[in-house]
Amino acid sequence: MQLADVDKRILNELQEDAKASFRDIAKKAKCSAVTAMKRIHNMEKEGIIKKYSAAIDYEKLGFDVSIILDVRVSKGKLFAVEKKISAHPNVMLVYDNTGQFDVTVVARFRTRAAMDKFLKKLQSYDFVQRTETKLILNTIKEGGIKI
């Protein structure tokens, strides 16, 4: 879908602060508050804006262990395994992708022991062939892209 420049500016402002008022968004996006409101509602209707959420500092909440997990799945059971992984409360993201692995998972845990328990359980799932775990040391950037 092609977006007008004003829509792009509005989306960029929403990514910076989704709680900003229509008036503040309009001022920064260089349009009227009514225009900002109408365009935001249209983008919500079209599914361009899927939801609004908070950016949380998980480390401040005690989730000090973050991982990227790659999973190889066998015998055409990809969606079933992805659904099972997605249901775990510590899993933030599940990507269906190409390459040596079929699934990439991002998860956060309070302790290494909790991470270990999760990994051992996941490795016991039927059709999980192989996994590779990467411990995230530092987050350099997390967030949306400029539209």
pLDDT band at 6 (very low <50, low <70, confident <90, very high): very high
Give 132's strand partners.
70
Across 38-52, average pLDDT: 97
Percent of the chain residues topping a pLDDT of 90 = 94
Radius of gyration of the chain (CA): 20
Contact 100, 86 (CB under 8 A): no
Both tokens of residue 10? 């509005």
Q: Which residues of 90-117 are buried (b: 16+ CB within 10 A; e: fewer)?
A: bbeebeeeeeebbbbbbbbbeeeeebee
Q: Is 41 helix (H, G, I), strand (E, B) or coil?
A: helix
Residue 1 has pLDDT above 80, yes or no: no
pLDDT at 13: 96
Tell me the whole-structure pTM to 2 decimals.
0.86
**pLDDT for 76:** 87
| Domains of the chain: residue spans and CATH | 5-45 (1.10.10.10), 58-135 (3.30.70.920)
60: CB partners within 8 A, 6+ apart: none
Average pLDDT of span 118-125: 96
Terminal-residue alpha carbon distance, the chain: 13
Arithmetic mean of pLDDT over the chain: 96
Give the confidence band of 63 by pLDDT, cuts at 50, 70, 90: very high
